[in-house]
């Protein structure tokens, strides 16, 4: 059973006697950052916060953000298809991955390290491993899709008295250039 940062809240990494644990702790290298492509190649055991900080050092932003950022790993984030606090604007972890490498139980390496946004060639093999909690293989590396760094953080506290009004506020806010999402 693969173990990342062990921050999962649904006991997906809970072990039983005689289980074999495979930790990704030493898969901890950020292999490449391309500011022009807005991509990063990252090994599965890298902590989410390290991914965010490395992206920021190149003027980029990796949009996934959760309270467990200082402990959870990228592999855990992808295998659980984590949502986080910016999900409304940027989507789930699944939406931030361009390519993936995974290893199956028989040792077969599935390598689909695509770097392009526009890629309609054949099967999208990475989807087998995103959100499937290690049941089909262990994620070892990924090509991540970053965005431009957000440099402003305007904050508004909006009182809303109905669900319909909430939907309208979201619709109005969506096209605004400020990159950080509504805190929902």
Ligand X SMILES: Cc1cc2nc3c(=O)[nH]c(=O)nc-3n(C[C@H](O)[C@H](O)[C@H](O)COP(=O)(O)OP(=O)(O)OC[C@H]3O[C@@H](n4cnc5c(N)ncnc54)[C@H](O)[C@@H]3O)c2cc1C
How many angstroms separate the CA atoms of 39 and 143, rounded?
7
Structure token digits, residue 146: 């970053």
Interface with ligand X includes 79 (CB under 6 A)?
yes
Query: Does 73 help bind ligand X (rule: CB under 6 A)?
Result: yes
Rounded least distance, CB 69 to ligand X, Å = 8
* Shortest Å distance, C-beta 96 to ligand X: 12
Q: Which stretch binds ligand X (CB under 6 A): 64-72, 119-127, 152-160, 172-180?
A: 64-72
Q: Does 63 bind ligand X (CB under 6 A)?
A: no
Q: Residues in contact with ligand X, total (CB under 6 A)?
A: 31
Paired with 41 in beta bridges are 32, 143
At 24 the three-state DSSP class reads coil
Q: Enumerate the β-bridge partners of residue 148.
A: 60
CB-side exposure of 183: number of CA atoms within 13 Å? 6
- Residue 181 in contact with ligand X, rule: CB under 6 A: no
Burial 1-38 (b: 16+ CB within 10 A, else e): bbbbbebbeeebbeeeeeeeeeebeebeebeebeeebb
Of residues 54, 53, 56, the one with CA closest to residue 31: 54
Q: Which of residues 29-48 bind ligand X (CB under 6 A)?
A: 44
Residues in 137-166 that interact with ligand X by CB under 6 A: 138-139
* Interacting positions 97-136 with ligand X (CB under 6 A): 133-134
Q: Provide the binding-site residues for ligand X, judged by CB under 6 A.
A: 1-9, 12-13, 24, 44, 66-68, 72-73, 75-77, 79-80, 82-85, 133-134, 138-139
């Amino acid at each position: 059973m693969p173990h990342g940062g062990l921050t999962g809240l649904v006991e997906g990494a809970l072990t039983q006697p005689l289980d074999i644990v495979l930790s990704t702790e030493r898969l901890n290298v950020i292999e490449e950052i391309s500011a022009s492509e807005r991509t990063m190649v990252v090994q599965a055991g890298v902590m989410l916060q390290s991914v965010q900080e490395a992206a920021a050092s190149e003027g980029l932003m990796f949009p996934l953000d959760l309270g467990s950022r200082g402990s959870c790993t990228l592999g855990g984030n992808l295998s659980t298809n984590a949502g986080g606090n910016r999900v409304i604007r940027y989507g789930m972890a699944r939406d931030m991955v361009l390519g993936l490498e995974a290893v199956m139980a028989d040792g077969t390496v599935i390598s689909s390290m695509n770097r392009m946004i526009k890629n309609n060639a054949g099967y999208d093999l990475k989807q087998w491993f995103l959100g499937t909690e290690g049941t089909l293989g262990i994620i070892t590396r990924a090509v991540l899709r970053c965005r431009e760094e957000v440099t402003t953080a305007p904050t508004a506290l909006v009182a809303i008295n109905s669900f319909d009004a909430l939907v309208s506020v979201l619709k109005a806010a969506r096209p605004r250039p400020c990159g950080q999402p509504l805190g929902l």
